[in-house]
Structure 1
Amino acid sequence: MSVIEVKVPDIGDYKNVPIIEVHVKPGDAIKRDDPLVTLESDKAAMEVPAPEGGQVAEVLVRVGDKVSEGSAILRLTSDAATPSDTKSANPPSSTPPPPRTETAPEPQSASGPGEPPDTTKGAAPRTPLPLGSDFGRVHASPSVRRLARELDIDLTRLTGTGEKGRITKEDVKRALSGGAGGGSGIPEIPPQDFAKYGPIETKPLTRLKRLSGPHLTRAWLNIPHVTHTDEADITDLESYRKTLDAAAKEKGYRVTLLAFLMKASVVVLKEFPEFNASLSPDKGSLILKRYYHLGIAVDTPDGLVVPVIREVDRKGIIELSQELGDVSQRMREGKIAPADIQGGTFSISSLGGIGGTSFTPIVNAPEVAILGVVRAETKPKWDGAQFAPRLMLPLCVSYDHRVIDGALAARFTRRLAEILEDVRQLVL
């Protein structure tokens, strides 16, 4: 039996990430992969798992501390370790398990259940804050302080509604809607006592939804969304896909339409580079990206997650299909690292397996466009001599109107349809 020092494993490019929860205390018996602490970066909430089982001898961190890769978390008495003096639980010769991550496209904040709904408290004007503002002795958690800095909210001017006057994320969000700037003039929905009308049940949102909600709200409020729709005749493509899929099943994976959508999107993104771009922070320039990392929306039991498939332009349909299957499985099991959701240039949200005729996907800022597809439908189409049954796929492209105008969006979507209608163009 010996005491080992457990350290933060590889968490990507993040440094000085605040600890928002400590799950263990001295004397606790833990098993391999049990959560030790939860970190909250600007992209995800990450649980750091135990590298092996044992008993917690000493906890070296507390809520609010900031850690990076290699920071010591706790000391663990382990039966499996080789007897020696205190040593690291993550030696260079072994690969530690990745932190379990609850993710979102670019989540910024979360709020806890049970906080007061009083909308008269906490409102304050937004004023530009100096870089690195830490708000002195303000009674607020590190994640609330970071959220306030990102939204230019002065915490010193807020009245906290949390325990002992603590400023909560709900207080910050109320200040955002009650002050000048982004979100100005949007009143809060007044609270109601639903129980007086009949039986109710309160079900807390998952952490994933609480993280993604503010990001989606911010993207919707800041981006002037427009959605252009079109249809692609995928009759021939679907026949070819089924041929590939039949062979793939015998090897343990599937070939879906999504892989073809990804390859076709890259072809069109190269022809229309404005769609594979982001606005500069000062909104005066367009940053054109010469790489093609596509975010793919994945439905999980806890909510929507958008992993990024990298270098799509360098991969074929088979390789993409295998990677999609692997990524989707890891996402649903919660086994994904922060790097897996970073660096996307264009996103695709497919509801084809569920249904619908069209929808408006929300642009995944800082991207400027997103493709949404729903279920294909067989329709009669005139071929010049008669009506023939054709499988038509609805395409819904939402875009940032500050960057892309309607005519360009129409050309982009029509070109995408043309490529899907003639799969041979994917190899040109």
Structure 2
Amino acid sequence: MPSSRAGKIVDLLVSQGDRVREGTLLARVQAADSKASEPATPKDKPIEAAVPPPQPAPLTTPAAEPAKPVTPPPASGKSHASPSIRHYARMLGVPLTEVTGTGPKSRILRADVEAFVKARLSDTAPRQTASPGMGLPDWPTEDYEKFGPVERRKLSRIARISGPALTRNALVIPHVCNFDKADVTDLEDFRKLLNKEAGPEDARITLLAFAVKAVVAALKAYPTFNSSLDGDEIVLKRYWNIGVAADTPEGLVVPVVKEADRKSVAEIAAEMGTLAAQARAGKLRPAAMSGATFTISSLGGIGGTGFTPIINAPQVAILGMTRAEIRPVWREDTVQPRLIQPVSLSWDHRVVDGVAAARFLQHVCRSLTDFRRVSI
């Protein structure tokens, strides 16, 4: 706690764990002589230090803890780490605000990040606690066994790593979700034709590969959706790396198609197939899951009519897709059976607004309906 005068604490009036309020006397400080460089003497007049008036706290301020000696954080309020360590932490999904630095001036080292990951992986009991600074009550406890037999299973490694990040993203980011649909009847016919003409060693082209290209076109038209929030600035990225969620026995992972704007639909389909196979085999490297500027989460192979995916911070939006279905559509004065693709867009209201989100999603739908628009 900052002091208005320099000096030495001679009388500490509170103990660790005590509750204090504004005006509570914390300590008496012996003031140093402002006209001399020598240390303060017992004859100096004591200064009484009290709790200052409370200040508004940001949304991500941690909950209060018992007082203990700590090294003050950098003046910027950010974690003290080099760019390479920040990049390494992002690859592993580690929130640096939760890592204790052991380097000079509490700088976070690579070993600190690895120790944090090892500690999380060895934590067999999931931590169900209220999010720091959210003012939420503690997670309720229940004696499940008294109602009947139960079975306990450990969370998967991926769930233990991604769980805290998902909780942070869901609570901190002000999510809003838009829904729309695209008529992909013609695109599906074209997709089937391409697969029919493909050779035996060519990758099977899916609707998701077309969606990647449609998203890139929309990101170029609305670059704010290809950005990240950094303090009071927006970082607009001039590259288009699309993360595509893949299901594995351990849970969902998000491999990234790098430079998707420079690749054809066939190349994207082949790369997604390779990445998905590596993910299912547990051989996906951290570098293959880093650097995404936007994410697509597809449930097309399972079903559903819509969902609200959680944004993958520090991205500002994520596209959700469910299974396309044949539906009756009024078209050219008749009711026709058309293949309709439901889509949803979760977006960060701190960066974009509803009008921009609706236009972005419509751009994606128009591209899927008539894929010729992607080349314009």
Give me the TM-score of the superposition, normalised by structure 2: 0.69
The alpha carbon displacement at 1:343 in A equals: 0.8
Q: Deviations over 1:244-294 (max 9, x none)?
A: 1223362252110111000011011000001000011x2x11111010000
Structure 2 residues not aligned, in runs of 5+? 1-82
Bigger radius of gyration, 1 or 2?
2
Name the counterpart of 1:338: 286
Name the counterpart of 1:423: 371
The alpha carbon displacement at 1:133 in A equals: 8.4
Equivalent residues in 2 for 1:12-411 (5 A)? Answer: 43-44=91-92, 106-108=93-95, 142=112, 174=129, 177=131, 181=133, 184-248=134-198, 250-280=200-230, 282=231, 284-411=232-359
The alpha carbon displacement at 1:330 in A equals: 0.7
The alpha carbon displacement at 1:145 in A equals: 7.7
Answer yes or no: is the 8 Å Cα contact 2:91–2:287 preserved in 1: no
The alpha carbon displacement at 1:242 in A equals: 0.7
* Secondary structure at 1:269 match in 2: helix
Amino acid at match of 1:316: S
Distance, in Å, in 1 between the alignment partners of 2:169 and 2:319 is: 16
Percent identity, aligned pairs only? 45
Answer yes or no: is the 8 Å Cα contact 1:361–1:372 preserved in 2: yes
* Secondary structure at 1:419 match in 2: helix
Structure 1 residues not aligned, in runs of 5+? 1-12, 18-39, 45-105, 110-125, 136-140, 148-161, 163-167
* Secondary structure at 2:323 match in 1: coil
Distance, in Å, in 2 between the alignment partners of 1:217 and 1:357 is: 24
Q: Deviations over 1:20-42 (max 9, x none)?
A: xxxxxxxxxxxxxxxxxxxx955
Cα gap change, 1:405 to 1:331, in 2 (>3 Å): same
* Secondary structure at 1:43 match in 2: helix
Distance, in Å, in 2 between the alignment partners of 1:206 and 1:249 is: 38
Name the counterpart of 1:53: none
Q: How many residue pairs align between the two structures?
A: 287
Task: Tell me which protein shows more helix as a share of its residues.
Answer: 2
The alpha carbon displacement at 1:194 in A equals: 0.7
Distance, in Å, in 1 between the alignment partners of 2:229 and 2:138 is: 29
Distance, in Å, in 2 between the alignment partners of 1:391 and 1:350 is: 17
Cα gap change, 1:132 to 1:185, in 2 (>3 Å): farther
Answer yes or no: is the 8 Å Cα contact 1:245–1:256 preserved in 2: no
Cα gap change, 1:319 to 1:145, in 2 (>3 Å): closer
Amino acid at match of 1:326: T
* Secondary structure at 2:198 match in 1: helix
Cα gap change, 1:133 to 1:42, in 2 (>3 Å): farther
